[in-house]
Amino acid sequence: MTIFSPSLSHIESLVKPGIPVCAYIHDLDALASHAIELVSHLPPRSEFFYAIKANSDPAVLSALAPIVAGFEVASAGEIRKVRQAVGPNARIIMGGPARTETDFLAAIDHGVERVHIESLHLLHMADIVAKRTGKRLPVLLRINMAGPVPGATITMGGQPTQFGIDEAHVDEALKLVKECDYLRFDGFHLHTISNNLDAEAHSVFCEAALRRAQDWAARNGLVPKVVNLGGGWGVDYSDLNRRFDVRLFCERLAGSIQAEGPLLQFECGRIVVAYCAVYATEIIDLKTTHGETFALLRGGSHHFRLPSAWQHRHPHKILARTNWPWPWQRPRIGAQLVTVTGELCTPKDVLLRKEQVQGLAVGDIICFLAAGAYGWDISHHDFLSNAHPERIFLNEHASNATERLSA
Q: Residue 153 pLDDT > 70, yes or no?
A: no
Q: Residue 15 pLDDT > 70, yes or no?
A: yes
Range scoring the smallest mean pLDDT among 161-165, 182-186, 360-364: 161-165
| Residue 142 banded pLDDT, cuts 50, 70, 90 | very high
| Residue 160 banded pLDDT, cuts 50, 70, 90 | low
Question: Using one digit for the tens of pLDDT, what is the confidence trace for 361-407?
Answer: 999 999 999 999 999 999 999 999 999 999 999 987 544 555 554 44
The average pLDDT across 173-201 equals 92
Q: Where are the beta strands (DSSP E) in 52-172?
A: 70-73, 92-94, 114-117, 137-144, 154-155, 165-166
Please name the fold of domain 8-25+275-405. Answer: Lyase, Ornithine Decarboxylase; Chain A, domain 1 (2.40.37)
Check residue 260 and give its pLDDT. Answer: 80
Question: Using one digit for the tens of pLDDT, what is the confidence trace for 300-323?
Answer: 999 999 999 998 999 999 999 999
Check residue 168 and give its pLDDT. Answer: 87
Mean of per-residue pLDDT scores for the chain: 92
Range scoring the smallest mean pLDDT among 10-14, 23-27, 144-148, 254-258: 144-148
Q: Residue 66 pLDDT > 90, yes or no?
A: yes
User: Domains of the chain: which residue ranges?
Assistant: 8-25+275-405, 41-268
- The phi-psi region of residue 287 (left if phi > 0; otherwise alpha if psi is between -120 and 50; otherwise beta) is beta
Check residue 405 and give its pLDDT. Answer: 47
Q: Where are the beta strands (DSSP E) in 157-215?
A: 165-166, 183-189, 193-194
The average pLDDT across 4-26 equals 97
Check residue 137 and give its pLDDT. Answer: 97
Question: Using one digit for the tens of pLDDT, what is the confidence trace for 244-301?
Answer: 999 999 999 988 887 788 999 999 999 999 999 999 999 999 999 999 999 999 999 9
- Four-way CATH pick for 41-268: 3.20.20.10, 1.10.600.10, 3.40.50.880, 3.40.50.300: 3.20.20.10
| Residue 156 banded pLDDT, cuts 50, 70, 90 | very low
Cis amide leading into 148 (omega within 30): yes
Q: Residue 154 pLDDT > 50, yes or no?
A: no
Own/partner long-range contacts of 106-109 (Cβ < 8 Å, ≥24 apart):
106/76, 106/79, 106/80, 107/76, 107/79, 107/137, 108/133, 108/135, 108/137
Supply the residues annotated as catalytic: 345
Helix H or strand E encompassing 201: helix 199-219
Cα 271 to Cα 212: distance, rounded to the nearest angstrom: 26
Question: Using one digit for the tens of pLDDT, what is the confidence trace for 82-126?
Answer: 999 999 999 999 998 889 999 999 999 999 999 999 999 999 999
At residue 381, φ and ψ (nearest 5 deg) are -55, -40
Q: Residue 150 pLDDT > 80, yes or no?
A: no
Range scoring the smallest mean pLDDT among 38-42, 143-147, 304-308: 143-147
